Structure 1
């Protein structure tokens, strides 16, 4: 599932994003309110986690403008503003939850999962835990991958990498994006970590199949999509 985190404290943002990524979420991070609103309006997220006190525009304004634009993305406020009036205000604006800093990551994770389960229950026909591209299927809940009914064993990093590529199927993802989303690392153009991981993943999901799904666009990045042989 894809989440948006809007947090201006860099260390806090890195800590939260790393923890969520390790729990199989794909996380986009914005460091100010203007970027956060742009991300929220431009993409489809399963949940947005917003600080209230942000540079540019605050979290209150983000949810107001998002709702005015017709975006119904579930929102959780994560903020040091702990007055009862603030909590009430956040919930009245349409937030699903309001978590006060300092917080434990385990509680944040639990609340995130509760919101996502609630959203799934409200639309029972949607199998949001399943990703599919052609005959390749990834089950986020069971942590399993199949192609043409054949089970494919992946490492944790390979699973995260494949889930990101499948969520954004047809979109060219740069090595920098993959590094930030899967490895949570500042990108070193000299490293071959991403290239090695892509080669290993391709060998597992493509080598034994006629139709190839994982493609390299030289100088641009990688894309997962069906291209008939």
Structure 2
């Protein structure tokens, strides 16, 4: 158990609940707030290890919430979550005291990685270092540096291929539905078709399987999804 207490400040119910469920699954203790006033009250009265703060929330904006708590001397790490993608908004968020910034739609896998990175960077992480260089079939993969090598030669993997591979590795030897992969990698606000997942799996098989036509690592579970044998 991570024993880290996180606050989600998000007024969209499905987004709030989806993030909360995934954080709790990862072992975090999670509290929520629906607007800026509630967020300020909870932050002032409680101790959190990290805050996920939506910018466009009722009553008090996320930027102003951040400014107010920083003015009060509260240095809890903040990751801004927002639909705004303009560079100036990112600058404002970071200059107001934020530690990181994610633009919706985002994948849950990326969000979890950003949370862990901010906790490590701010000294709030009590997690042991995990192995980031792993052998998967024909590939040696470094997930920290997004590098892959086969027989001493670099192999090009896209960012999405790295994310899917990491997700499959985290759920090794379990049957994973296409919907789970879609939600975790592409996020809730943007939904490609199940066929998109199948196409990525086919590309990954070409890179990791000895015989992609007879896979032994990325196994199809008909009618459901895939099993990653490791």
Structure-2-length-normalised TM-score = 0.55
Q: Aligned pair 1:170/2:176, yes or no?
A: no
Aligned CA distance change for structure 1 residues 88 and 9 (closer, same or farther; 3 Å): closer
| Aligned-pair CA distance for 1:162 | 0.8
Aligned to 2:12: 10
Aligned residues: 169
Partners of 2:52 and 2:163 lie apart in 1 by 27
CA separation of 1:220 and 1:9: change in aligned 2, threshold 3 A? same
Q: Which residue of 2 aligns with 1:217?
A: 221
**What residue in structure 2 maps to residue 109 of structure 1?**
100
Greater mean deviation of Cα atoms: 128-137 or 199-208: 128-137
Q: What's the secondary structure of 2:62's corresponding residue?
A: coil
Instruction: Say if 2:173 and 2:228, in contact at 8 Å, map to a contact too.
Output: yes
Distance in 1, Cα, partners of 2:215 & 2:19: 42
Displacement after TM superposition at 1:182 (Å): 1.7
Q: 1:81 aligns with which of 38, 46, 51?
A: 38
Aligned to 2:32: 51
Q: Indicate if the aligned counterparts of 2:49 and 2:124 stay in contact, CA closer than 8 A.
A: no
Q: Distance in 2 between matches of 1:80 and 1:131?
A: 44
- In 1: Cα distance, 2:165 partner to 2:42 partner: 40
1:30 partner SS: helix
User: Structure 1 length normalisation: TM-score?
Assistant: 0.55
Pick aligned residue for 1:153 from 156, 170, 190: 156
Q: CA deviation at 1:143?
A: 1.0
Match of 1:30 in 2: 17
Q: Offset of 1:151 from its aligned partner?
A: 4.0
Question: Match of 2:191?
Answer: 186
Q: 1:6 to 1:98 in 2, by over 3 A?
A: closer
Native 8 Å contact 1:6 1:30 kept in 2: no
- With over 3 angstroms needed to count, the CA separation of the structure-2 counterparts of 1:146 and 1:223, relative to structure 1, is farther
Aligned equivalents of 2:220, 2:176: Cα separation in 1: 10
In the TM superposition, residue 51 of structure 1 has moved relative to its aligned partner by: 2.1
Counterparts of 2:7 and 2:180, CA distance in 1? 16
Gaps of 5+ in 1: 14-28, 54-77
| Contact residue 7 and residue 31 of structure 1 kept, 8 A | no
Cα contact 2:168–2:228 (8 A) shared by 1 = yes
CA RMSD of aligned residues (A): 4.0
